[in-house]
Structure 1
């Protein structure tokens, strides 16, 4: 088993991959949901030409509106009114035709293996062998994505956290066949966008979600069993442990449907009952109460 390392240690010790700061002018981002639009925003604001792909025009329009609105907000937070406008570097498309011109591809569609598989099989057909492909997934093993490619060494994982343009660190996952050169390219791309990285070995849920999903799921069981209210659970974590958000607020931010899919994947992959999804979580997802993005989860939100 290869040892997980920080991106900086990796750059020092993996000399065989061929160093040098590559330039990735064109980044294709597939999936224009909450995370995908955030990924597109991140790379566009750093001056990359971004092609954002989704199969519905309405979703692309929503993503463009969100990016434009968030850009103004984030610039105010950074107190940088002269920052690059991400919209100026953004192009949208409803198919994968333009993806073949990209220098780096990041897939971000919904956490559904059957849907993701279709996209990656098409990417295997249209991309040149040297173009890296990052799967942005909450829990699906990266090695599984690599199995869909004639050149599995080009596939890595990039786990971005919400809100993507504000998070300073990205979890990068090494699949069983991922090459050192491709990992280096991923780190370079993130560095060009001003982001640090931590490389971890492939495992369902990786590091962040393997721990996070346990915590949010157990917090839901506490509400489900009437041990405490959602508000009190979150208040305890914020007050006693200094968390900026409680576990149920975090679940709402992630999206309860994504939490459910992530738990189902980890549960199936590890065959470990501690990851069984809380019945309350299933009930809320079935009712369409998916958190911030739907306007209601454990808390109400304005859309």
Structure 2
């Protein structure tokens, strides 16, 4: 299936810029939405860095014009500047239900024929879409780093028709990725499992069972994980993992209660790779 001709990505941070990257390199025209001029400039830098990094690693077709792709990408301030004929709008803003509702509500009015997608990793898609037209919103959970990760988790509220799910699955395949479809349950499939293992690894470290390096090496060599659970927590972001754990603890019970060690590290600003220090030290 061909991609929609025009895609809107709301939020130009790490995830939003990476999502824009994969749609651009697959041939779609992309508009990125940010909130002000400073964030527009930051989004353009993030997109350029993502594309140039892929080019430097040989992950883009030879001769790809990175400057041309970046220059052809509209980065605007406000959903009201999305082209009305946009066929897919992906929201990639911070994990706040009210913020996502506001953005997607504006996108639904501006782009009446667009499929609406939220990149949430744990929040209820049904709650986010409570005031939206029925059957237009689903979860489209990309994984970081988006260009390298092959999985997209599609979260389906009960009112979303089969036709829409299959259309979006086709778009995912056109990106060279694989989609799984899960119900709109707390944590979906991937966040729920990933957080459960990550929290247990942190508890083991807290209890002195093993070192950071040995916990991660055990999972990499014993279970063939490409990275260990503590390194993965650093990549995801300790603050992000803490927020997801708190949400899952509220929805599913005390087994998802965040360890004190995780809370302490977040309080100290040790957020993982993005801050240079988490469970590992990052250059």
Q: TM-score scaled to structure 2, two decimals? A: 0.91
Partner Cα distance (1:157, 1:79) in 2: 27
Which residue does 2:103 correspond to in 1? 119
Aligned length: 279
Q: 1:285 aligns with which of 244, 266, 270?
A: 266
- 2:116 maps to which of 133, 143, 155: 133
Matches within 5 A, 1:232-247: 232-247=214-229
**Using CA pairs below 8 Å that are at least 6 residues apart, which structure has the higher relative contact order?**
1
Contact 1:251 1:259 in 2 (8 A): yes
**Structure 2 residue corresponding to 1:298, chosen from 256, 269, 279:** 279
Query: Following TM superposition, by how much is the alpha carbon of 1:55 offset from its aligned partner in structure 2, in angstroms?
Result: 1.4
Going from structure 1 to structure 2, the CA distance change for 1:208 and 1:117 (only over 3 Å counts) comes to same
- 2:72 and 2:175 map into 1 onto residues whose CA distance is 14
**Mean Cα displacement is larger for which, 97-106 or 206-215?**
97-106
Instruction: Say if 2:67 is the partner of 1:87.
Output: no
Corresponding residue for 2:175?
A: 193
Q: Is the 8 A contact 2:101 2:129 kept in 1?
A: no
Partner of 2:80 in structure 1?
97
How far apart are 1:79 and its partner, in Å?
Answer: 6.7
Aligned to 2:151: 169
Unaligned stretches of 5+ residues in structure 1: 1-20
TM-score, scaled to structure 1: 0.85
CA offsets per residue over residues 76-113 of structure 1, 9 Å max, x none?
Answer: 33373224634244211121112252211000111122
Worse-matched range after superposition: 170-179 or 85-94: 85-94
Q: Could you list the runs of 5+ residues in structure 2 that have no partner in the other structure?
A: none
Q: What is the rounded CA distance, in whole Å, between the counterparts of 1:223 and 1:58 in structure 2? A: 40
Query: Is the 8 Å Cα contact of residues 23 and 189 (structure 1) preserved in structure 2?
Result: yes
SS at 2:138 equivalent: strand
Deviations 1:257-293, CA, capped at 9 Å, x for gaps: 11111112222222x1111111111122222221112
CA contact (8 A) 1:45 1:84 kept: no
8 Å Cα contact 2:12/2:46 also seen in 1? no
SS class of match (1:29) = strand
RMSD over aligned Cα atoms: 1.9
Larger proportion of helix: 1
